[in-house]
């Protein structure tokens, strides 16, 4: 605490990311990175972009990248906003769309913790809606008529850390019941098991879909995320961007992300391998007595009736295996485990077997 800190800095409770240790031989299953690495075409594009042109500012409107994203989702570039990771895109959504006359933002009690951090940072009044007992989102909680419509609704689909998927028709019910409310669907994990709500953008002026290249495209280090919505909504986000940092994506990121998105064959190859690993990991954990929620993501959310989750996480950490535990009400008995390569999953299962049967 410094005397020079602003009043705002004193009050912040920053997001706490999963550990990024640099030990050799680390089995890193704690931040949902993709073990297979980015598309070779993306790496080649980044290398090709690393030349003397770096003295120039990057593209101001990121048109080539927005074009590639638009093509993939059968929209036009006017429907696409890009940012420095989807975290930045989400930040601009919070300040650009959720601050409306003190109306609340509805969000689940168990979700991506950056939402609560941004509520505090941007002073967005939050109305936290508990998920059902089994961690499913109750659509009815979001479709009741209220005295004052909420300014926004945000949830991750599939949700993190629960890994559970909401079907598109349920999202559509929420969109229809809330015509005066922006509904943001954070699809960081959608490529691992669901159909994107991007096909609803043309029909619903209150929908924003957010995606990232950090997880399925294995480019967490590049920092590229994007939002899909109708053009007027996108223009609002652009106003925020141009009041904050008008070049959020550098030349290397633009080149790499564009090439990655154009290489759908590589994406689907990786996803296939991860889905196979997910089945094996789920079966192995179940054999050890874990209850594993049905995952639509590249991680599983699991609990053991006889073993303390925090202790298991610590014991694994001592063996250089990182997984995630959240000391948070309702989920403190759960572990979130990223689906790694088959070898990484085997090593995790071996270590857990030894811990559970000493």
Ligand X SMILES: *Cc1c(COP(=O)(O)O)cnc(C)c1O
β-pair partners for 230: none
Please tell me the distance from the alpha carbon of residue 58 to that of residue 265, in angstroms, as a whole number: 28
- Of 96 and 225, nearer to ligand X (C-beta) is 225
- Of 214 and 347, nearer to ligand X (C-beta) is 214
Give helix 63-72 / helix 251-262 axis angle, nearest 10°.
Answer: 20
Shortest distance in whole angstroms from residue 243 CB to ligand X:
20
Cβ-Cβ contacts under 8 Å for 10 (sequence gap 6 or more)? 1
Shortest distance in whole angstroms from residue 215 CB to ligand X:
6
- Of 188 and 339, nearer to ligand X (C-beta) is 188
- Of 77 and 225, nearer to ligand X (C-beta) is 225
Residue 218 parent element (H or E): none
- Of 211 and 262, nearer to ligand X (C-beta) is 211
- Of 162 and 347, nearer to ligand X (C-beta) is 162
Rounded to a whole number of angstroms, the distance between the first and last alpha carbons of the chain is 45
Contact yes or no for 339/274 (Cβ under 8 A)? yes
Please tell me the distance from the alpha carbon of residue 134 to that of residue 303, in angstroms, as a whole number: 13
Shortest distance in whole angstroms from residue 220 CB to ligand X:
5
Q: Cis link prior to 161 (omega < 30° from 0)? A: yes
Contact yes or no for 70/77 (Cβ under 8 A)? yes
Shortest distance in whole angstroms from residue 228 CB to ligand X:
14
Please tell me the distance from the alpha carbon of residue 109 to that of residue 113, in angstroms, as a whole number: 9
Contact yes or no for 192/296 (Cβ under 8 A)? yes
Give the interface with ligand X as residue ranges (CB under 6 A): 85-87, 112, 156, 160, 186, 188, 212, 214-215, 220, 225
């Amino acid at each position: 605490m410094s005397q020079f800190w602003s009043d705002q800095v004193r009050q912040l409770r920053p997001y706490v990311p999963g550990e990024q240790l640099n030990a050799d031989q680390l089995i890193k299953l704690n931040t949902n990175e993709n073990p297979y690495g980015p598309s070779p075409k993306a790496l080649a594009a980044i290398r090709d972009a690393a030349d003397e042109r770096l003295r120039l500012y990057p593209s101001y409107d990121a048109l080539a990248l927005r074009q590639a994203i638009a093509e993939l989702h059968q929209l036009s570039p006017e429907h696409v906003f890009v940012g420095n990771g989807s975290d930045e895109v989400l930040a601009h959504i919070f300040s650009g769309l959720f601050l409306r006359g003190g109306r609340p933002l509805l969000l689940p009690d168990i979700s991506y913790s950056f939402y609560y951090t941004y509520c505090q940072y941007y002073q967005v009044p939050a109305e936290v809606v508990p998920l059902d007992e089994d961690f499913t989102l109750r659509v009815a909680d979001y479709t009741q008529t209220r005295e004052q419509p909420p300014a926004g609704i945000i949830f991750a689909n599939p949700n993190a850390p629960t890994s559970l998927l909401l079907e598109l028709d349920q999202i559509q019910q929420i969109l229809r019941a809330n015509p005066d409310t922006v509904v943001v669907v954070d699809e960081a994990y959608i490529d691992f098991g669901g159909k994107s709500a991007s096909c609803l953008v043309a029909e619903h002026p209150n929908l924003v879909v957010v995606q990232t290249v950090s997880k399925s495209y294995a480019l967490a280090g590049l920092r590229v995320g994007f939002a899909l919505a109708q053009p007027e909504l996108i223009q609002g986000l652009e106003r925020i961007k141009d009041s904050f940092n008008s070049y959020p994506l550098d030349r290397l990121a633009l080149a790499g992300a564009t090439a990655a998105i154009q290489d759908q064959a590589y994406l689907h190859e990786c996803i296939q391998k991860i889905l196979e690993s997910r089945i094996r990991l789920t079966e192995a954990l179940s054999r050890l007595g874990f209850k594993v929620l049905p995952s639509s993501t590249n991680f599983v959310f699991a609990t053991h009736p006889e073993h303390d989750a925090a202790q298991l996480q610590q014991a694994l950490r001592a063996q250089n295996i990182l997984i995630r535990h959240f000391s948070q009400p309702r989920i403190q008995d759960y572990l979130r485990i990223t689906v790694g390569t088959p070898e990484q999953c085997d090593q995790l299962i071996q270590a857990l077997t030894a811990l559970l049967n000493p």
